[in-house]
Structure 1
Amino acid sequence: MIDPKKIDLNKLKTQLQVKKPWDIIIISFLNLVITFPIFIIIHHNVIDPNWPFSLDRILIFLVVFIVIHFVLNAMRTFMMIAILIYFFVLIYGSIFGNYGFNSVVEDYNSMVYTMSDSPYPQDIIIAKLLPFPNKSKILSAIEYENPKVRNFAIMATTKHFRNLKGYGDYRTIIQCFAVFKEINSRWNYVHDPKEGDYIATATESLLYFSGDCDDHSILMAACVRAIGGTPRLIHTKGHIYPEILIGSMEDLEKVNYLIKNELFPRESAKKQLHYHIDERGQVWMNLDYTAKYPGGPFLFEEILGALTLN
């Protein structure tokens, strides 16, 4: 006698299976997505025997590809459920502003970038998947649409570098550097209460230009954003500081000239600029309160997290 439960189970398995040839296409795509980062990890942790034409690396890639293929092939029965759940979660995250499709692409780019032979090891964001400290409070405190914040930023642009001519393509960056000059020339470092972190809003910090590193970063980011710049906050061990998006390496060369010869010649004399390059190849320059000029020395090198204001 045939057990009806077995019939139902077989029927369910048949319904959940991806039909041919889509099963092969999906498995091949997932195989490549998974194989590539695993291969990079192995590549960086296995001694290179210097075989001709890098045959050892080709062999490693093929072995990883075949193993992942067999694993995915064994899971094909319930692949449709897994894919549907995965896409549902990403669609939900994209709609409600949480972890969505864009986040997946950015994290995959970051993962591949940080596994590669990057000439900028300080760019490796170790805690890419860990929460930025006090993220929600900090985002709320960056009041770049507040009239007081914008008016202060505008005041700084009229006070510094207003008469500099001939650099129209870099007007916004020059004006953001004017904000940097005004804030950093007035900033007074004051510790938080002993009970814990006190997150001051940008408008609070405008009253006395005093506070700790996160208060300075919030004010700087708000003012830079208020006049069209793109700031981000960098979290290191026990410290947070702001950076500004410069653009490409070509943009960096021109900004370097401006800082060295037009804007901060005395402060930056015989000193180098400090910056980071992200996974997209974009240059970000240090605007910390400890810096006397944009691109001043980092207080801490190792990045633990980044919070970008788009």
Structure 2
Amino acid sequence: MIKLGNLNYQTLKERLRIKSPWDSIIIFLLSILFTIPVFIIAHQKLIDLEWPIHLDRILLFILITTAFHLILKAMRRITLISIIIYVLTLLYGTIFGGYGFVSVFDDYRSMIYAMTEDPNPQDLIVSKLLPFPNKYKIIKAVEYDNPRIRSYALRATTKNFRKVKGYNEYFTLIQCFAVFKEINSNWNYVSDPKGRDYIATASETLPYLSGDCDDHSIFMAACIKSIGGIPRLIHTKGHIYPEIYIGDKKSDLEAVNYLIKKELFSRESKGQSLHYHIDERGKIWLNLDYTADYPGGPFMNEEILGALTLD
């Protein structure tokens, strides 16, 4: 018989055994805890079948929970050890910057919210687009390395959303949304001279925060790029507007959707959907038009003719 100090194997098993009905309760709760991170991963990787009320995801959650429940029930004598391993794994991730308690909570919260408040995808951007009008003039006008442009962007980040905690992975995006809020809250639309397409540089637009759609797009792109964001401009038949790259994973979209609708722009986006494009490489781009009250506001629903990425 195996002995551990003054304890033999049988005695150790008895000491680790949890008596009924607590063993059933703990096994059920532990099954739920194990299910959450696995379900998050499965939800992000599997194709959304778009069943009513997300019935496919509900069945998936039940299936994973049942599987863990059966496994833990078969291993009921080492349930206490399972609990300790689970908690230590998440504790290690929390301390050393891996997948920990906060990550599980944030991912699960964002995922559940996205399942009840679906973002609204638009048409897929195809690779064969028309040449972007005034491309080189616009690139030159996006003066992201101009000290005055960067100073404006920095002031916007100190004025908006400084008290938002957590979301370290989306820290730069939050600051870009602060820039969006500052610009769109103060933008004054002014038309170009009649019969002429006047393109103002970002520094020219700065003193008055005024201009037409291409002036707004250039200025927004310059400010966002100056603080580490990745903007792009979209050209339609009669309009130009900016977008921002938010990621290429479903979890990025869910997290940003939650951030905008629950943390940053809850009043402006109440009852609204998040509008975005997915390009041919799977990258997700969020609308930042001057007509939008929040990042991801409604598009003007015009056919896309060209895209100019400023990375």
Indicate whether the TM-score tops 0.5. yes
The separation in 2 between residues aligned to 1:132 and 1:123, in whole angstroms, is: 18
Q: Which runs of 4+ in 1 moved over 4 A?
A: none
* Structure 1 residue 131 displacement after superposition: 1.7
Q: Which position in structure 1 is the counterpart of 2:175?
A: 175
Residue 229, structure 1, aligned to residue 225, structure 2: no
Q: Which position in structure 1 is the counterpart of 2:281?
A: 280
The separation in 2 between residues aligned to 1:232 and 1:296, in whole angstroms, is: 16
Q: 1:126 to 1:279 in 2, by over 3 A?
A: closer
Q: Aligned AA for 1:233?
A: L
Q: Which position in structure 1 is the counterpart of 2:22?
A: none
Q: Which position in structure 2 is the counterpart of 1:18?
A: none
Provide the secondary structure at the position in 2 that maps to 1:258: helix
The separation in 2 between residues aligned to 1:241 and 1:121, in whole angstroms, is: 15
Q: Percent identity?
A: 70
Q: Deviations over 1:29-71 (max 9, x none)?
A: xxxxxxxxxxxxxxxxxxxxxxxxxxxxxxxxxxxxxxxxxxx
Whether the 8 Å contact between 1:244 and 1:284 is mirrored in structure 2 is: yes
* Structure 1 residue 125 displacement after superposition: 4.2
Provide the secondary structure at the position in 1 that maps to 2:256: helix
1:1-310 maps to which residues of 2 (within 5 A)?
Answer: 122-125=123-126, 128=129, 130-247=130-247, 248-310=249-311
Q: Which position in structure 2 is the counterpart of 1:41?
A: none
The separation in 1 between residues aligned to 2:264 and 2:121, in whole angstroms, is: 27
Provide the secondary structure at the position in 2 that maps to 1:233: strand
* Structure 1 residue 195 displacement after superposition: 3.1
Q: Which position in structure 1 is the counterpart of 2:58?
A: none
Whether the 8 Å contact between 1:249 and 1:283 is mirrored in structure 2 is: no
The separation in 1 between residues aligned to 2:238 and 2:267, in whole angstroms, is: 30
Q: 1:185 to 1:133 in 2, by over 3 A?
A: same
The separation in 2 between residues aligned to 1:124 and 1:261, in whole angstroms, is: 28
Q: Deviations over 1:90-113 (max 9, x none)?
A: xxxxxxxxxxxxxxxxxxxxxxxx
The separation in 1 between residues aligned to 2:150 and 2:122, in whole angstroms, is: 36
The separation in 1 between residues aligned to 2:125 and 2:185, in whole angstroms, is: 31
Q: 1:153 to 1:146 in 2, by over 3 A?
A: same
The separation in 1 between residues aligned to 2:200 and 2:235, in whole angstroms, is: 17
* Structure 1 residue 142 displacement after superposition: 0.1
Whether the 8 Å contact between 1:231 and 1:243 is mirrored in structure 2 is: yes
The separation in 2 between residues aligned to 1:254 and 1:121, in whole angstroms, is: 19
Whether the 8 Å contact between 2:122 and 2:277 is mirrored in structure 1 is: no
The separation in 2 between residues aligned to 1:127 and 1:211, in whole angstroms, is: 30
Alpha-carbon RMSD: 1.5
The separation in 2 between residues aligned to 1:284 and 1:167, in whole angstroms, is: 19
Q: How many residues align?
A: 191
Q: Deviations over 1:216-263 (max 9, x none)?
A: 000000000000000000001110000000002210100000001110
Q: Aligned AA for 2:237?
A: K
Q: Deviations over 1:189-218 (max 9, x none)?
A: 110001310000001111101000000000
The separation in 2 between residues aligned to 1:131 and 1:302, in whole angstroms, is: 14
Structure 1 alignment gaps of length 5 or more: 1-118
Q: Deviations over 1:133-158 (max 9, x none)?
A: 11111000000000000000000000
Q: Aligned AA for 1:172?
A: T
The separation in 2 between residues aligned to 1:271 and 1:232, in whole angstroms, is: 23
Structure 2 alignment gaps of length 5 or more: 1-119
Q: Aligned AA for 2:273?
A: Q
The separation in 2 between residues aligned to 1:133 and 1:245, in whole angstroms, is: 21
Whether the 8 Å contact between 1:246 and 1:283 is mirrored in structure 2 is: yes
Q: 1:185 to 1:121 in 2, by over 3 A?
A: closer
Provide the secondary structure at the position in 1 that maps to 2:196: coil
Q: 1:209 to 1:136 in 2, by over 3 A?
A: same
Q: Which position in structure 2 is the counterpart of 1:9?
A: none
Q: Which position in structure 2 is the counterpart of 1:65?
A: none
Q: Aligned AA for 1:217?
A: S
Q: 1:251 to 1:271 in 2, by over 3 A?
A: same
Whether the 8 Å contact between 1:202 and 1:219 is mirrored in structure 2 is: yes
Provide the secondary structure at the position in 1 that maps to 2:191: coil
* Structure 1 residue 122 displacement after superposition: 2.1
